[in-house]
Amino acid sequence: MYGGGNIFEVNKSDNLNQEDPVKLDEFEARIARGEKVEPSDWMPALYRKQLIRMIEQHAHSEIIGALPEGTWITRAPGFKRKMALMAKVQDEVGHAQLLYSAAETLGKSREQMMQDLINGRSKYSNIFNYPAFTWADSTIISWLVDAGAIVNQLANSKGSYGPYCRALERICAEESFHLKYGHHAVIHLATGTNIQREMVQGALNRWWPPMMHFFGPPDKISVHTEVLTKWKVKMATNDECRQQFLDMYVPKIWELNLTIPDPNLRKNSETRQWEYSEPDWDEFIRVINGDGPCNAERLSVRRTAEERGEWVRKALLTKEAKYVTPLA
Amino acid sequence: MKMDSLDPRIKRWKLQEQRQEEYSSSSLDQLPTYEVFIQLKEGKAFEHAGIVHASTADMAFLFAKEQFSRRYSCTGMWVVASEQVWVTTYSELEENIYDHIGQPAGEENDPQDDFDVFHLYKRGKQHKHVGQVKAQDTRMALLKAKASFDTGRPVLNIWLIRSINIQASTPEDQVIWSTLSEKTHRDVISYRAGDKLNKFKEKHNEG
- Give the residue with greater pLDDT, A19 vs B182: A19
Write the residue in B23, B31, B191 that is nearest to A184 by C-beta. Answer: B191
- Chain A to chain B, count of Cβ pairs less than 8 Å apart? 178
Q: Is the pLDDT of residue A109 over 60?
A: yes
Q: Which residue of A has its CA nearest to B202?
A: A255
Element (H, E) at B87: strand B85-87
CB contact (8 A) between residue B51 and residue A37: no
- Omega prior to B111 cis, within 30 of 0: yes
Q: Is the pLDDT of residue A24 over 80?
A: yes
Q: How far is CA B183 from the centre of its chain?
A: 22
Around Cβ A325, how many Cβ atoms within 10 Å?
Answer: 15
Write out chain B residues lying below 8 Å of A188, CB-based: 193, 196
Q: Which residue of B has its CA nearest to A134?
A: B6
Using pLDDT thresholds of 50, 70 and 90, give the confidence band for residue B52: very high
pLDDT at B6: 80
CB contact (8 A) between residue A101 and residue B5: no
pLDDT at A4: 55
pLDDT at B92: 81
Q: Is B184 on the interface with A (CB under 8 A)?
A: no
List alpha helices for A224-327, DSSP H: 226-230, 238-254, 281-288, 295-316
Average pLDDT over residues A214-218: 91
Q: Is the pLDDT of residue B15 over 80?
A: no
- Give the residue with greater pLDDT, B60 vs B106: B60
The architecture of the domain spanning A21-316 is Up-down Bundle (1.20)
The distance of B19 to chain A (nearest Cα, Å) reads: 9
- Give the residue with greater pLDDT, B80 vs A2: B80
Q: Which residue of A has its CA nearest to B203?
A: A191
pLDDT at B1: 43
pLDDT at B73: 85
- Of the listed ranges A69-83, A97-111, B104-118, the least confidently predicted one is B104-118
Q: Is B138 on the interface with A (CB under 8 A)?
A: no
pLDDT at A226: 81
Q: Which residue of B has its CA nearest to A42?
A: B90
- B145-189, pLDDT tens digit by residue? 999 999 999 999 999 999 999 999 998 888 888 877 778 888 888
pLDDT at A87: 95
Query: Cα(A306)–Cα(A63) distance, rounded to whole angstroms?
Result: 13
- Of the listed ranges A28-37, A226-235, B38-47, the least confidently predicted one is A226-235
Q: Which residues of A112-125 are buried (b: 16+ CB within 10 A; e: fewer)?
A: bbbbbbbeeebbbb
Write out chain A residues lying below 8 Å of B31, CB-based: 313, 316-317, 321, 323
- A240-289, pLDDT tens digit by residue? 999 999 999 999 999 999 999 999 999 999 999 999 999 999 999 999 98
What's the order of all strands across the beta sheet hosting B167-168?
B85-87, B157-162, B113-120, B128-135, B47-53, B33-39, B76-81, B167-168
pLDDT at A1: 55
On the 0-12 / 13-18 / 19+ scale of CB atoms within 10 A, B195 is exposed
Around Cβ B124, how many Cβ atoms within 10 Å?
Answer: 17
Q: Is the pLDDT of residue B55 over 50?
A: yes
Q: Is the pLDDT of residue B101 over 90?
A: no
Write the residue in A38, A177, A304 that is nearest to B90 by C-beta. Answer: A38
Q: Which residues, in sequence order, are bridge partners of residue B129?
A: B118
Using pLDDT thresholds of 50, 70 and 90, give the confidence band for residue A7: very low
Average pLDDT over residues A286-296: 91
pLDDT at B26: 59
The distance of A42 to chain B (nearest Cα, Å) reads: 11
Average pLDDT over residues A203-231: 87
| Three-class DSSP category at B102 | coil
Enumerate the domain spans of chain A.
21-316
**How is residue A144 annotated by DSSP?**
I
Q: Is B205 on the interface with A (CB under 8 A)?
A: no
The distance of B112 to chain A (nearest Cα, Å) reads: 25
